[in-house]
């Protein structure tokens, strides 16, 4: 139990406590304005909260307490309590906030308790208690809550409005959480005001719920508690000596014991919970011990948080039990999200226990389930809790928090505008009559819909015109093309300011007269596909269909070739199709290997024609390579990578980056606009968390596959500089430095320190240690004598070197001569006494520079190393004796020398043991009932002063020894109260600090106490007649027993002389039957029947007989057969 600190005198000019915040002037005036006088200070407190504070409902109030820790060895612990036991630390939340700060200069801890929007239920007595090791101090104060000034007359029901239904930080007086909802009165009909308290007072309890519903009371229990207090009139209890405490507090899962004392120790009590009687069980244990009545609740849970009553007749006493939940920790933290508008977001966490209460916040606003159900959804799955945003908007961007009563985590949501990327544009087409025309485009979002237009007019589907949307591809197909289908076609995605256009050219077939001998001619038209002369670009995976018109008479022969290899296949992925006057070259699903020079050669008897084409296959690029982290900071990291080996045939436009926490499967986008450089600095990261990165390459075709994940890296920062660097010692070639750890270490930890030095005036620093120094001290060796040297220390961790801690001025390397000085401990300045056989270990610290030489002497002679062990270091000398003997006693002297200077210290050591017995013990005189003894001190006093003697006597008849005197300091004594006619002998023990001597010394002669002429006159004694006839004081009692179970019948009898006992069954004497055991213990008679059967039933009687008469009692024994319940 901490020792209370005695109250100090009041301070004259102590500053008044802060009773509120600057944001609320009314609360300031009410909380502190009335307490202008200085608060009295006592014990550990430097400043206390004011004793009485008046606050306005709805305002904020702050209480401040300050503790001076300059004289304390450890950090003090502060508790804020309401009432007698309720710890407000478990109620921390939106309504109550606690803050702790520390000033390193003044060494003062400042503790603040802030109550947000004070309600009536906050009124009452409070206490702040500070404890540190074996000291404690406390200060009490009281809060009075007044209604707001702008209300003419405060309705008492306003105290019952729930201030924050989402907070689980109730107060001791839960009635403050209730309020009657005020209904708007119709102006045309004014109803008289109704006092709900009067209604409740006069109403029957069955009407309470109806009245509460009618007048908007949301917490009936708190209302009834308040009503009960209004009805109660304190009166003297006739049934209770000690009532229950006003309230009890218990942690969830723990045991709580409630007890009270009643006037009548035999009275029966009832225990009620919320008005319902409690039945005894393993959970609820009720005990009655004398006047004390106890109710024990085992393994309390939240359902046990209720009102309890102990009822004795018409009297009762009540209490409240508050069950505190243990702190719920968060085992899986929240991830960050980077999404676009309309995407679904799921913030998921895991907590330590199922069924825990989790509060979600967006920035500083709580997300309430009923209020925000249209935007947010809450999901619970065991220990997993999820906050779901169905469709994210720009307004949803920000920081989201999850709070439990024992943990907090946060995650950031970044929402970007939705951008649509065109992966494949539609191309111009040239088709002939009756052929099919197909426009195709690809966009980045497979959910985007759109419309097709021709010359600004929307195209509607028909039997000939079809529009399809499969995934990211949108197609417009026109069968049996007609001349009127020619025109400009446009695809417009819904919801985006974007359009894709292409032209449909109708190829008319003109029939002209030609001579029969017409050389072949290739009419190559690649409108829409040609990017340069004779070059066609095809996106990998797409289909290339090249229709080439051929003319010539007679019909020419067409040969397609890739390089020197002709292409003759008419089926497969790469094929050639021939029609009249038309040759079609088709590649299904273009691949990178299809890229190259292609030629078409047509021949007939009139000549030949040839055309060469270069088909270029473009694709998304390969993923970037060698993604790695080259540097980290406190919340950032630098990532570099190499461009992809293959750019897909199109220039790389830039890169997209994603990151995730290690162990998570959810990637967060870091940029939506392409990033052109191959070095990126990722920011807004959490220090101490492992991350992984990956990079995508982007060209005009699309997005590459992701790169391999980078090695995990952790954003960490170097520590701050070491503190309190100082010089501990200097010699001619060394300098000893000492310092303290950095104030800020961070998640990277601390690997060690590097000590550097340089001569005064130089700028080149030299490292004194090759390996990191893990201790907070180091000896720099090999320094030049007489030089002035600057020193600095740098802390090192995985993030690098910290800023250096440098000495304010250079150090001169020269040993300072210091006079030798022995620091003799206080207990060795007097005589040092030890018992024989004990261990002696004396440590004598000293100082001096250079290192002094220490020598030990005993009685002027150097100590014998065989008897005494001596070990000397640079700072102390140790004298050690493993087992002390009397010859070790003497005067020891330590001599400390430095050149011609010296210091001496003497220690007087005395080794003691038990003394020998005293000498010449004798009886010198005997008179009356007294004897006089004398003796001489012992020859061996055990090397210690004799502190006394113990004298014992013994009667020569019994030879039993009895102590007469202890600690007798004289060498003589007088033994009194001896018995006449007896002869006595005596013995004496010596005593010193070690105890009594091993052997006593017996007296040489004895003391005889002679008889005198006294006679004893015998008084006459008449013996009382105790004879009486037998009489049974306790009769036999009828019994019914189960067959097979041993039983016993008993009675009690008195009589003198001792009566003879006879047991009978059905008037037949029971003999030596082993089935029956008859016992008589001081008149209590017992007949034990071993495993009776049905034939043992009958009338049993007991008869007691002596010379003066007899008496008899009888009973009936019924034996019934046991029934098996399983056979029913």
pLDDT 10s digits, 47-99: 989 988 888 888 899 999 999 888 887 888 888 888 766 778 777 777 888 88
User: In percent, how much of the chain has pLDDT > 90?
Assistant: 32
Higher-pLDDT residue of 912, 203: 912
Quick one: average pLDDT of 367-390? 84
Quick one: average pLDDT of 586-593? 85
Residue 1014 — pLDDT band, cuts 50, 70, 90? Answer: low
User: What's the pLDDT score for residue 1118?
Assistant: 94
Residue 41 — pLDDT band, cuts 50, 70, 90? Answer: very low
Task: Estimate to the nearest angstrom the gap between the alpha carbon of 790 and the chain centroid.
Answer: 46
User: What's the pLDDT score for residue 219?
Assistant: 52
User: What's the pLDDT score for residue 155?
Assistant: 45
Range with the poorest average pLDDT among 118-127, 353-362, 501-510, 640-649: 501-510
Of 615, 680, 677, the residue nearest 652 (C-alpha): 677
User: What's the pLDDT score for residue 305?
Assistant: 85
How is residue 182 written in tokens?
A: 């005020």
User: What's the pLDDT score for residue 2?
Assistant: 44
Instruction: Output DSSP code: residue 204.
Output: -
On whether the CB atoms of residues 217 and 223 are closer than 8 A, the answer is yes
User: What's the pLDDT score for residue 515?
Assistant: 56
User: What's the pLDDT score for residue 535?
Assistant: 82
User: What's the pLDDT score for residue 167?
Assistant: 39
User: What's the pLDDT score for residue 935?
Assistant: 94
User: What's the pLDDT score for residue 1022?
Assistant: 76
Q: Is the pLDDT of residue 759 over 70?
A: yes
User: What's the pLDDT score for residue 400?
Assistant: 92
User: What's the pLDDT score for residue 150?
Assistant: 46
CA distance 419 to 415: 12
Range with the poorest average pLDDT among 171-175, 222-226, 933-937: 171-175
CA distance 435 to 260: 102
On whether the CB atoms of residues 655 and 698 are closer than 8 A, the answer is yes
For the CA atoms of 455, 458, 462, 466, the dihedral, rounded to the nearest 10 degrees, stands at 80
Higher-pLDDT residue of 247, 742: 742
Higher-pLDDT residue of 655, 179: 655
Give tens-digit pLDDT for 678-722. Answer: 999 998 888 888 999 999 999 988 889 999 999 998 888 888 899
Residue 163 — pLDDT band, cuts 50, 70, 90? Answer: very low
Triad 217, 223, 225: Cα angle to 5°: 165
Give tens-digit pLDDT for 937-947. Answer: 999 999 999 99
Mean pLDDT rounded to a whole number for the chain: 82
User: What's the pLDDT score for residue 533?
Assistant: 62
Residue 1021 — pLDDT band, cuts 50, 70, 90? Answer: confident
Higher-pLDDT residue of 809, 41: 809
On whether the CB atoms of residues 847 and 819 are closer than 8 A, the answer is no
Residue 210 — pLDDT band, cuts 50, 70, 90? Answer: low
Of 179, 84, 49, 175, the residue nearest 122 (C-alpha): 175
Quick one: average pLDDT of 1002-1028? 80
User: What's the pLDDT score for residue 85?
Assistant: 67
Query: What residues have CB less than 8 Å from 451, skipping those under 6 apart?
Result: 458, 459, 491, 492, 494
Give the torsion sign (CA, 219, 225, 228, 230): negative
Instruction: Tell me the H-state helices in 399-439.
Output: none
Residue 168 — pLDDT band, cuts 50, 70, 90? Answer: very low
Quick one: average pLDDT of 509-513? 57
Query: What residues have CB less than 8 Å from 669, skipping those under 6 apart?
Result: 338, 339, 416, 656, 657, 658
Give tens-digit pLDDT for 640-652. Answer: 999 998 888 888 9
User: What's the pLDDT score for residue 582?
Assistant: 84
CA distance 330 to 689: 15
Range with the poorest average pLDDT among 127-136, 278-287, 637-646: 127-136
On whether the CB atoms of residues 819 and 901 are closer than 8 A, the answer is yes
Range with the poorest average pLDDT among 225-229, 974-978, 1086-1090: 225-229
Q: Is the pLDDT of residue 194 over 70?
A: no
pTM confidence score: 0.34
On whether the CB atoms of residues 785 and 732 are closer than 8 A, the answer is yes
User: What's the pLDDT score for residue 324?
Assistant: 77
Quick one: average pLDDT of 551-579? 84
Residue 171 — pLDDT band, cuts 50, 70, 90? Answer: very low
Rg, C-alpha atoms of the chain: 53
User: What's the pLDDT score for residue 728?
Assistant: 87
Quick one: average pLDDT of 535-541? 83
Residue 28 — pLDDT band, cuts 50, 70, 90? Answer: very low
User: What's the pLDDT score for residue 149?
Assistant: 53
User: What's the pLDDT score for residue 251?
Assistant: 83
Give tens-digit pLDDT for 1060-1108. Answer: 999 999 999 998 888 899 999 989 999 999 999 989 999 999 999 999 9
Q: Is the pLDDT of residue 477 over 60?
A: yes
User: What's the pLDDT score for residue 156?
Assistant: 41
Residue 952 — pLDDT band, cuts 50, 70, 90? Answer: very high
Q: Is the pLDDT of residue 1127 over 60?
A: no
Query: What residues have CB less than 8 Å from 223, skipping those under 6 apart?
Result: 160, 175, 178, 200, 212, 217
Q: Is the pLDDT of residue 347 over 60?
A: yes
Choose from 849-853, 1051-1055, 1069-1073 the range with maximum mean pLDDT.
1051-1055
What residue ranges in 222-299 does DSSP mark as E strands?
240-242, 247-251, 256-262, 270-273, 276-277, 284-289, 292-297
């Amino acid at each position: 139990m901490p020792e209370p600190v005695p109250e100090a005198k009041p301070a004259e000019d102590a500053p008044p406590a802060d009773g509120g915040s600057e944001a609320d002037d009314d609360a300031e005036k009410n909380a502190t304005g009335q307490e202008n006088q200085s608060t009295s200070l006592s014990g550990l407190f430097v400043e206390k909260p004011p004793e009485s504070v008046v606050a306005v409902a709805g305002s904020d109030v702050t209480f401040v307490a300050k503790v001076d820790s300059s004289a304390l060895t450890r950090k003090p612990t502060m508790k804020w309590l309401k009432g007698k036991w309720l710890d407000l630390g478990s109620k921390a939340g939106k309504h109550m906030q606690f803050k702790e700060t520390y000033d390193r200069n003044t060494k003062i801890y400042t503790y603040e308790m802030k109550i947000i929007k004070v309600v009536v239920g906050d009124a009452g007595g409070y206490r702040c208690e500070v404890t540190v090791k074996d000291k404690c101090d406390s200060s009490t104060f009281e809060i009075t809550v007044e209604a707001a000034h702008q209300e003419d007359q405060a309705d008492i029901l306003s105290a019952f409005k729930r201030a924050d239904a989402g907070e689980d930080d109730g107060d001791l007086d839960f009635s403050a959480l209730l309020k009657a909802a005020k209904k708007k009165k119709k102006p045309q009909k004014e109803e008289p005001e109704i006092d709900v308290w009067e209604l409740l007072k006069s109403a029957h309890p069955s009407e309470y719920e109806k009245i509460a519903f009618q007048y908007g009371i949301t917490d009936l229990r708190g209302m009834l508690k308040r009503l009960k207090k209004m009805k109660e009139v304190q009166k003297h209890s006739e049934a209770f000596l000690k009532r229950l405490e006003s309230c009890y507090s218990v942690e969830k899962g723990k045991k709580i014991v409630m007890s009270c004392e009643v006037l009548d120790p035999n009275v029966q009590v009832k225990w009620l919970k919320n008005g319902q009687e409690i039945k005894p069980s393993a959970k609820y244990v009720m005990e009655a011990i004398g006047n004390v009545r106890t109710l024990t609740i085992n393994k309390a849970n939240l359902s046990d948080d209720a009102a309890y009553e102990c009822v004795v007749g018409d009297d009762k006493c009540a209490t409240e039990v508050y069950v505190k939940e243990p702190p719920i920790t968060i085992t899986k933290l929240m991830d960050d999200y980077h999404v676009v508008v309309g995407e679904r977001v799921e913030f998921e966490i895991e907590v330590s226990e199922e069924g825990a209460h989790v509060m979600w916040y967006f920035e500083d606003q709580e997300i309430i389930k009923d209020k925000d159900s249209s935007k947010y959804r809450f999901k619970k799955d065991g220990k997993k809790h999820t906050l779901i945003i169905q469709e994210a908007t720009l307004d949803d961007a920000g920081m989201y928090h999850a709070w439990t009563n024992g943990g907090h985590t946060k995650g950031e949501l970044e929402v970007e505008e939705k951008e649509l990327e065109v992966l494949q544009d539609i191309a111009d087409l040239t088709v002939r009559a009756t052929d099919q025309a197909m426009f195709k485009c690809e966009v980045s979002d497979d959910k985007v819909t759109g419309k097709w237009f021709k010359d600004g007019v929307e195209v509607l589907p028909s039997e000939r015109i079809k529009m399809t949307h499969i995934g990211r591809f949108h197609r417009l197909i026109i069968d049996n093309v007609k001349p009127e289908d020619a025109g400009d076609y446009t695809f417009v995605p819904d919801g985006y300011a974007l359009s894709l256009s292409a032209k449909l050219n109708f190829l008319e077939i003109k029939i002209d007269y030609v001579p029969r001998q017409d050389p072949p001619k290739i009419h190559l038209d690649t409108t829409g596909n040609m990017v340069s002369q004779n070059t066609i670009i095809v996106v990998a995976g797409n289909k290339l269909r090249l229709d080439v018109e051929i003319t010539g008479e007679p019909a020419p022969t067409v040969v397609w070739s890739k390089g020197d290899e002709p292409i003759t296949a008419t089926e497969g992925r790469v094929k050639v199709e021939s029609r009249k006057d038309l040759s079609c070259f088709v590649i299904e699903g273009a691949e990178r290997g299809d890229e190259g020079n292609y030629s078409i050669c047509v021949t007939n008897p009139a000549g030949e024609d040839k055309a060469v084409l270069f088909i270029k296959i473009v694709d998304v690029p390969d993923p970037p390579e060698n993604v790695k982290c080259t540097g980290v900071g406190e919340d950032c990291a630098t990532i570099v990578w190499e461009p992809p080996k293959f750019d897909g045939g199109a220039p790389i436009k830039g890169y997209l980056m994603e990151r995730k926490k290690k162990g998570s499967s959810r990637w967060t986008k870091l940029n939506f606009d392409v990033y052109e450089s191959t070095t990126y600095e990722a920011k807004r990261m959490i220090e101490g968390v492992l991350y992984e990165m990956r990079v995508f390459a982007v060209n005009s075709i699309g997005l590459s596959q992701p790169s391999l994940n980078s090695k995990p890296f952790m954003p960490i920062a170097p520590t701050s500089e070491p503190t309190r660097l100082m010089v501990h010692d200097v010699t001619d070639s060394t300098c000893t430095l000492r310092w303290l750890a950095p104030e800020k270490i961070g998640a990277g930890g601390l690997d060690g320190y590097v000590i550097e030095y340089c001569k005064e005036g130089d700028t080149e620093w030299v490292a004194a240690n090759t390996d990191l120094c893990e201790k907070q001290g180091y000896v720099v060796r090999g320094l030049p004598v007489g030089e002035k040297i600057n020193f600095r220390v740098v802390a090192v961790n995985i993030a690098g070197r910290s800023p250096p801690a440098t000495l304010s001025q250079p150090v001169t390397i020269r040993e300072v001569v210091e006079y030798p000085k022995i620091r003799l401990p206080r207990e060795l300045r007097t005589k040092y006494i030890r018992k024989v056989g004990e261990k002696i270990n004396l440590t004598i610290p000293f100082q001096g520079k250079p290192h002094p030489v220490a020598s030990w002497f005993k009685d002027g002679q150097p100590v014998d190393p065989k008897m005494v062990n001596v070990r000397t270091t640079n700072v102390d000398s140790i004298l050690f004796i493993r087992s002390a003997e009397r010859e070790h006693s003497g005067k020891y002297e330590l001599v400390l020398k430095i050149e011609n200077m010296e210091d001496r210290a003497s220690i007087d050591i005395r080794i003691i043991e038990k003394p020998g017995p005293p000498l010449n013990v004798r009886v010198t005189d005997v008179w009356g009932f007294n004897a006089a003894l004398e003796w001489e001190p012992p020859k061996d006093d055990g090397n210690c002063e004799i502190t006394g003697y113990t004298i014992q006597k013994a009667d020569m008849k019994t030879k039993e020894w009895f102590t007469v005197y202890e600690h007798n300091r004289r060498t003589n004594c007088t033994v009194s109260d001896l018995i006449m006619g007896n002869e006595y002998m005596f013995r004496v023990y010596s005593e010193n600090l070690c105890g009594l001597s091993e052997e006593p010394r017996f007296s040489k002669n004895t003391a005889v106490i002679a008889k005198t002429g006294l006679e004893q006159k015998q008084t006459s004694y008449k013996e009382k007649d105790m004879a009486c006839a037998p009489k049974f004081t306790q009769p036999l009692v009828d019994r019914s027993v189960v067959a097979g179970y041993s039983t016993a019948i008993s009675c009690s009898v008195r009589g003198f002389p001792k009566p003879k006992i006879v047991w009978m069954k059905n008037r037949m004497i029971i003999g030596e039957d082993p089935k029956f055991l008859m016992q008589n213990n001081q008149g209590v008679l017992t007949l034990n029947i071993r495993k009776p059967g049905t034939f043992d039933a009958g009338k049993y009687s007991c008869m007691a007989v002596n010379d003066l008469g007899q008496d008899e009692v009888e009973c009936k024994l019924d034996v019934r057969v046991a029934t098996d319940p399983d056979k029913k």
